[in-house]
């Protein structure tokens, strides 16, 4: 199923057991922020990006290394070299993603980015070869077709149940969403419009290990989508405040069944109610200082590619 009808999606999703695959990744990958700088093209539709003068590449590199060390405590984490010609490459989850088919075989999916400066990232022969030749994953290349589909930036996944939540914007059109639905082999995908000014779904929505969700209500054009998420993940659907939203608390990730990772700025913005709700859902909060990286318009989840 792929639909714009929240009620139909909810009815179908409730019939699906959490037996589609592992809820969290078995490894993670990063791309170093070599050449990290203000990318004028990306800034056209990313309101979270700071001005050029706010970028501190050396501080961003230190924070990225700290992120690598921290994540490696949870699961195997590798880091590919960056490239000064791709200033946004430290956000690789928009370009490369992985999945497993019904037979358990691994797949690497290469997305089609909206902006030419980011399309260069999809040509990385070393990252492609790592998944294809080292891990033996089959490659699904969406980068050379015309429809933007920025993978797990635009498409938030519930890996346990095979569900997708795809926010449409300049970064992902409906045709691109359908291509991703097929590439990930999903059971059901809900399509919806993001609120004006939002560029990626993963800034306003996080599904945590298939059993909880962080939702930024103002990030969605249609309140019915928020209500659908609340119903599907009750009692662990956590609505974030505007302040939490602005601090990137929605750009979080669960890399294990018992912890949610977010930036230190996001963690500081959490209300007592949100902290209590995460604890009730069985998640400890782990945080890494990423303010220099957040100048680029993304936070912790954007930095993390998952290996399934």
Q: Is pLDDT above 70 for 33?
A: yes
Q: Which residues are CB-neighbours of 83 under 8 A, at least 6 positions away?
A: 34, 35, 89, 120, 124
In the prediction, which pLDDT does 46 show? 79
Coarse DSSP helix, strand, coil percentages of the chain, rounded to the nearest 5 percent:
35, 25, 40
Q: Is pLDDT above 90 for 48?
A: no
Per-residue pLDDT band for 187 (boundaries 50, 70, 90) equals very high
Q: Is pLDDT above 90 for 36?
A: no
Tokens matching residue 124 = 């990385």
Tokens matching residue 249 = 């608390």
- In CATH, the architecture of 2-307 is 5-stranded Propeller (3.75)
In the prediction, which pLDDT does 282 show? 98
Per-residue pLDDT band for 152 (boundaries 50, 70, 90) equals very high
Q: Which of 31, 161, 167 is nearest to 96 (CA)?
A: 31
Per-residue pLDDT band for 43 (boundaries 50, 70, 90) equals low
pTM as predicted: 0.95
Q: Which of 139, 86, 141, 155 is nearest to 116 (CA)?
A: 86
Cα(122)–Cα(139) distance, integer angstroms: 12
Classify residue 126 as left (phi > 0), alpha (psi -120 to 50) or beta. Answer: alpha
- Which of 33-42, 65-74, 126-135, 293-302 is the least confident region? 33-42
Per-residue pLDDT band for 38 (boundaries 50, 70, 90) equals confident
Asked if 37 and 213 count as a contact pair (C-beta separation under 8 A), the reply is no
In the prediction, which pLDDT does 45 show? 74
Q: Is pLDDT above 70 for 208?
A: yes
In the prediction, which pLDDT does 52 show? 79
What number is the average pLDDT over the span 283-296? Answer: 96
Classify residue 147 as left (phi > 0), alpha (psi -120 to 50) or beta. Answer: beta
What number is the average pLDDT over the span 50-62? Answer: 89
In the prediction, which pLDDT does 174 show? 98
Asked if 37 and 83 count as a contact pair (C-beta separation under 8 A), the reply is no
Token pair 């050396």 is found at: 58
In the prediction, which pLDDT does 54 show? 82
Cα(151)–Cα(110) distance, integer angstroms: 8
In the prediction, which pLDDT does 215 show? 98
Asked if 96 and 111 count as a contact pair (C-beta separation under 8 A), the reply is yes
Which tens digits make up the pLDDT trace of 62-77?
A: 999 999 999 999 999 9
Q: Which of 239, 232, 230 is nearest to 278 (CA)?
A: 239
Which tens digits make up the pLDDT trace of 112-148?
A: 999 898 999 999 999 999 999 999 999 999 999 999 9
């Amino acid at each position: 199923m792929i639909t714009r009808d929240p009620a139909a999606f909810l009815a179908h999703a409730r019939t699906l057991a959490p037996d589609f695959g592992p809820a969290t990744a078995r490894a993670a990958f990063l791309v170093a922020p070599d050449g990290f700088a203000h990318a004028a093209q990306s800034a056209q539709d990313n309101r979270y990006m700071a001005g050029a003068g706010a970028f501190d590449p050396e501080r961003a590199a230190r924070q990225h290394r700290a992120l690598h060390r921290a994540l490696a405590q949870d699961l195997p984490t590798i880091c590919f070299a960056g490239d000064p010609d791709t200033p946004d490459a430290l956000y690789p989850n928009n370009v490369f993603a992985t999945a497993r088919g019904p037979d358990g075989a691994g797949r690497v999916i290469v997305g089609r980015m909206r902006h030419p400066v980011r399309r260069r990232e999809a040509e990385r022969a070393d990252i492609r070869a790592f998944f294809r030749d080292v891990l033996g994953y089959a490659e699904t290349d969406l980068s050379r077709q015309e429809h933007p589909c920025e993978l797990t930036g635009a498409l938030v996944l519930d890996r346990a149940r095979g569900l997708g939540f795809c926010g449409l914007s300049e970064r992902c059109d409906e045709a691109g969403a359908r291509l991703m639905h097929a590439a990930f082999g999903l059971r059901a995908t809900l399509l919806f419009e993001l609120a004006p000014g939002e560029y990626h779904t993963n800034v306003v929505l996080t599904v945590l290990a298939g059993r909880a969700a962080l939702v930024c209500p103002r990030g969605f054009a249609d309140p019915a989508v928020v209500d659908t998420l609340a119903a599907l993940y009750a009692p662990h659907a956590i609505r974030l405040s505007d302040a939490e939203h602005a601090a990137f608390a929605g750009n979080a990730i669960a890399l294990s069944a018992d912890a949610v990772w977010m930036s230190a700025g996001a963690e500081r913005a959490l209300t007592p109610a949100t902290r209590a709700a995460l604890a009730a859902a069985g998640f400890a909060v782990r945080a890494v200082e990423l303010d220099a990286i957040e100048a680029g318009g993304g936070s912790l989840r954007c930095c993390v590619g998952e290996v399934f």
